[in-house]
Amino acid sequence: MSARIIDGKEFAARLRARVAATTAELKSAHGITPGLAVVLVGEDPASAVYVKSKGKAAHEDGLRAYDIRHPATLSQEALLAQIRDLNADASVHGILVQMPLPSQIDPQAIIAAIDPLKDVDGFHPLNAGRLMSGEYGVSHGLVACTPLGCMMLLKDVLGDLTGKDAVVIGRSNIVGKPIAQLLLQESCTVTIAHSRTRDLAALCARADILVAAVGRAEMVRGSWIKPGATIIDVGINRIEVDGKNKLVGDVAYAEAAEIAGAITPVPGGVGPMTIACLLRNTVVAAALQAGLNPPAI
Ligand code: GUN
């Protein structure tokens, strides 16, 4: 069997067309231009690439983008002062502080300082808690961008997810934990696996839905996968092949595609969805801050 390739790039383009249309409507009907501030501390090359593409995408879809850079030596106090300024700036509807942060800065302190209404990452304890208590689903609220994008793809491929066995590999606050909550809301039976999990291969063999978010190149082998399963590969790992840099996921793609029913490629799967969902969250945040009903995008 050869798996269906889940084209995240194409799905994200359609989502971004809806983001652009809603942005145009917010402008013409209400005089609001959704504004996104992206803050990068330090010069990590991968983070710099992500931040640049986030700003570029925002601009392309008609949002206002603020690209804020700080040296790696920035103090926590200075970053908190920056967050306070952005919270108070009415032209900024979404704030994203790129993770990871340098070691002198406590990420939780920064996330907690962001106005929850401007928390387009969905990382603030209030938004994470609302997700946990079932208040936020795939179509409401400020839900973490990568998990939201993965769920949109899963629902597009599978429709109703009720009763499916879902295994999430990875327990990060950015991906593993929130996507497990979203899968649970869709009535999946969810298992979260991590670095201390015993016999991961046997666990994966039960999964109708397998989400890999560990950051280890090609860790999930084809032989682990249940025939016909849907595979969502969140990993973006740079490896060297024949002296050349190559991007690969957490799943051994060629092997997995022989067994799975559907699979996201790397690149071109989850990555474009993360950016599209960030823009979606910013537009939703702008509408909510203006007291409007959240647009259905
Ligand atoms: N670093 C890796 N992914 C993300 C993300 O979704 N948001 C932020 N703020 N930082 C990240």
Question: pLDDT of 201-233, one tens digit each?
Answer: 999 999 999 999 999 999 999 999 999 999 999
Contact between residue 153 and residue 8 where contact means Cβ atoms under 8 Å apart = yes
Active site residue 54: yes
Instruction: State how far the Cα of 207 lies from the Cα of 166, in Å rounded to an integer.
Output: 5
Instruction: Please state, as a whole number, how many other Cβ atoms lie within 10 Å of the Cβ of residue 68.
Output: 18
Instruction: State how far the Cα of 54 lies from the Cα of 256, in Å rounded to an integer.
Output: 30
CB-ligand 1 contact for 275 (6 Å cutoff): no
Q: Tokens 């969805």, residue?
A: 273
Q: State pTM to two decimals.
A: 0.97
| 3.10.180.10, 3.40.50.620, 1.10.10.10, 3.40.50.10860: CATH of 30-123+273-288 | 3.40.50.10860
Whole-number pLDDT of residue 106: 98
CB-ligand 1 contact for 174 (6 Å cutoff): yes
Q: pLDDT by residue (tens digit) across 161-195?
A: 999 999 999 999 999 999 999 999 999 999 999 99
Mean pLDDT of the chain: 97
Active site residue 121: yes
Whole-number pLDDT of residue 230: 99
Whole-number pLDDT of residue 1: 59
Q: Which atom of ligand 1 is nearest to the CA of 278?
A: 6
Which homologous superfamily does the CATH classification assign to the domain defined by 145-272? Answer: NAD(P)-binding Rossmann-like Domain (3.40.50.720)
Active-site hit among 61, 115, 121, 233? 121
Residue nearest to ligand 1 atom 8, measured at CA: 98
Mutual orientation of helices 45-60 and 270-289 as an angle, nearest 10°? 60
> What number is the average pLDDT over the span 33-41?
98
Active site residue 164: no
